[in-house]
């Protein structure tokens, strides 16, 4: 009897492990497959969660720019995170994206995008591509988006996700964003999603006249700074307190 129970338990463990490993195989973040494998009701649930996110987390907290709200209603945030985090994708919080990095809370993405005052004909630079979600929001609003990510694996994954979702106006490069992306400068807006301790001079240089940069500045805790470049001066305004991952200066083997 004891033996029988033990072998049943062993068999159940094997079946469970087999199920888990086939589930694990589905964890690879391939949005096209995720989309095609989702049932209609699941997609509808995500759409409903997205509508609620826009109403309660964004509009309810003072985000007013209709183009930002439309972009946040449009981009499928759940397709930018690993399958295991999809059910949390529309929650009011940042989420892990691997390599010790995070995708920002939806409100912060909307706040930064609104503060950058982007027009449809604008060229925008983002520093810190991460999973590519903020880049996709910018891609909905601006004409051209250039985004730099220092961790090669994240850059590659973001490139793949953005391609699969059809964002042809977004280019992702692997490198140190502190230096900007001189070849396409000047930029009408620059959004920085990793925190440096001071504002990188190359980014100020690559900002167009009348352009805006939105950047968290500080060590452990930061202030969100909105910088405006006019003909003859740079105006910096500290806005909300935030907490971002630090801006790294050198690529290392991840
Ligand atoms: N905007 C991202 C989230 C950014 S998390 C999104 O929507 O998912 C911050 C990202 O900045 C991380 O992926 C981190 O690797 C990257 N990063 C840090 N220092 C950097 C640097 N010097 N240049 C470019 N990217 C950097």
pLDDT tens profile 116-134: 999 999 999 999 999 999 9
Answer whether residue 210 shows pLDDT above 80. Answer: yes
Q: Closest Cα to atom 16, ligand 1: which residue?
A: 128
The pLDDT of residue 31: 41
Query: Ligand 1: which atom is nearest the Cα of residue 248?
Result: 19
Q: How far is the CA of 193 from the centre of ligand 1 (A)?
A: 6
Q: Which has the closest alpha carbon to 162: 138, 122, 133?
A: 133
**Distance (Å, whole) CA 151 – CA 21:** 27
Which single residue is written with the structure tokens 């690879």? Answer: 28
- Active-site residue identified among 21, 22, 73, 104: 104
The reply to whether 44 falls in a domain is no
Query: Ligand 1: which atom is nearest the Cα of residue 99?
Result: 15
Q: What is the pTM of this model?
A: 0.85
Residue range 139-151: average pLDDT?
Answer: 98
Q: How far is the CA of 51 from the centre of ligand 1 (A)?
A: 27
Q: How far is the CA of 135 from the centre of ligand 1 (A)?
A: 11
Answer whether residue 4 shows pLDDT above 90. Answer: no
104 labelled catalytic: yes
The reply to whether 74 falls in a domain is no
**Distance (Å, whole) CA 161 – CA 146:** 15
Residues in the chain: 254
Residue 224: which domain range? 93-242
Q: Residue 251: count other Cβ atoms within 10 Å of its Cβ.
A: 12
pLDDT tens profile 99-117: 999 999 999 999 999 999 9
**Three-state DSSP state, 233:** coil
- Rounded to a whole number, what is the distance in angstroms from the first to the last CA of the chain? 51
The reply to whether 59 falls in a domain is no
The reply to whether 17 falls in a domain is no
The reply to whether 1 falls in a domain is no
How many helices and strands (H and E) does the chain possess? 8, 9
The reply to whether 191 falls in a domain is yes
Residue 183 maps to which CATH number? Answer: 3.40.50.150
In the chain, the number of structural domains is 1
Residue range 141-166: average pLDDT?
Answer: 98
The reply to whether 219 falls in a domain is yes
The answer to whether 140 and 110 are in contact (CB under 8 A) is: no
Counting ligand 1 atoms within 8 A of each CB, the residue from 93, 149, 251 with the most, and so the one to mutate, is 149
- Of residues 86 and 15, more confidently modeled: 86
The answer to whether 129 and 103 are in contact (CB under 8 A) is: no
Q: Angle at the Cα of 166 (from 131 to 133), degrees rounded to 5?
A: 20
The reply to whether 56 falls in a domain is no
């Amino acid at each position: 009897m004891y033996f029988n129970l033990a072998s049943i338990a062993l068999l159940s463990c094997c079946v469970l492990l087999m199920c888990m490993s086939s589930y694990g195989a589905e964890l690879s973040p391939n949005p096209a497959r995720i989309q095609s494998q989702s049932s209609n009701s699941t997609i509808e649930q995500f759409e409903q969660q997205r509508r609620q996110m826009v109403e309660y987390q964004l509009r309810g907290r003072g985000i007013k720019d209709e183009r930002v709200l439309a972009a946040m209603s449009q981009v499928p945030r759940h397709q930018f995170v690993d399958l295991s985090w999809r059910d949390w994708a529309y929650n009011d919080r940042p989420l892990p994206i691997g390599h010790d990095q995070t995708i920002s809370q939806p409100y912060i993405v909307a706040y930064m995008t609104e503060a950058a005052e982007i027009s449809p004909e604008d060229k925008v630079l983002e520093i810190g591509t991460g999973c590519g979600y903020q880049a996709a929001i910018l891609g909905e609003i601006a004409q051209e988006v250039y985004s730099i990510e220092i961790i090669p694996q994240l850059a590659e994954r973001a490139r793949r996700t953005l391609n699969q979702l059809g964002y042809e106006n977004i280019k992702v490069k692997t490198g140190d964003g502190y230096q900007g992306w001189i070849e396409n400068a000047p930029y009408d807006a620059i959004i920085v999603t990793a925190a440096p301790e001071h504002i990188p001079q190359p980014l100020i240089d690559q900002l167009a006249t009348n352009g805006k940069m939105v950047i968290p500045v500080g060590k452990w805790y930061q202030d969100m700074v909105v910088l405006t470049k006019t003909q003859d001066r740079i105006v910096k305004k500290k806005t909300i307190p935030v907490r971002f991952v630090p801006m790294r200066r050198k690529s290392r083997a991840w």
